[in-house]
Amino acid sequence: MKIPKNALIAVVDGEKLNLYHNSGDEHAPNLTALPDADVSTENMGSGGRHQSSSANPSDSQQNEDSFAAGVSEVLNKRATSGNIDHLIVIAAPRTLGELRKHYHKALEAKLVGEISKDLTGHTVRHIEEVVAAA
C-alpha cells in the first residue's frame, strides 16, 4: 500500500494512539510523529459491550473498547473538520473492529487503508515497511 503525501497514519491498540504525518510522497514516505491527541475514554457503553457482570467480567476489555471509541471520536472530528486528506489506520485486530463501529462517513471517505496489526511501540521505519508491504 502506498502512503499518500499528507496522509495521517493512526497506530492504535487498546491503550495507546500514535499519530504520524507523511511529509514525503507515495514512493518515498517520510513519517513524522505528531503530538499526542487527547482521547476521551468516557464512552463506557461503546460498541456492543455492556457493563461488567458475571456474564461479562472483563473491565480491561471495556476500557480498551472505550479507548477505541475515543480514538474514533478524535479521528472523526479531524475528518469532519477537513484536517485529514488521507488516513491509514493500523490497529490491533480487536481494536480495529471496535474502531470501525464508530467511523463517521466523512472519515470513511478519507480512509485509504487499514492494517490489522499491533504496531504501537514500533519504529517509524518499521511502520513504513509494514504499510509498503500491505
Rounded to two decimals, the pTM is 0.85
Separation between Cα atoms, residue 30 and residue 50, nearest integer Å:
41
Please state, in angstroms and rounded to a whole number, the distance separating the CA atoms of residues 134 and 98.
21
Residue pLDDT, tens place only, 35-59 = 988 888 775 554 444 454 445 546 6
Instruction: Please give the residue that has the higher pLDDT: either 32 or 48.
Output: 32
pLDDT greater than 60 at residue 5:
yes
Could you tell me which residues come within 8 angstroms of residue 81 by beta carbon, excluding any fewer than 6 positions away? none
Q: Examine the pLDDT at 9 and tell me if it is beyond 90.
A: yes
Tell me the one-letter amino acid at 94: R
Residues 6+ apart with CB under 8 A from 30: 22, 23, 24
**pLDDT score for 50:** 47
Mean pLDDT over residues 7-13, rounded?
95
pLDDT, tens digit (0-9, with 9 covering 90-100), for 103-127 = 999 999 999 999 999 999 999 999 9
Q: Is the pLDDT of residue 64 over 90?
A: no
Superfamily per CATH, domain 8-36+58-133? eRF1 domain 2 (3.30.420.60)
In the chain, where the domains are located: 8-36+58-133
Q: Quote the mean pLDDT of the chain.
A: 87
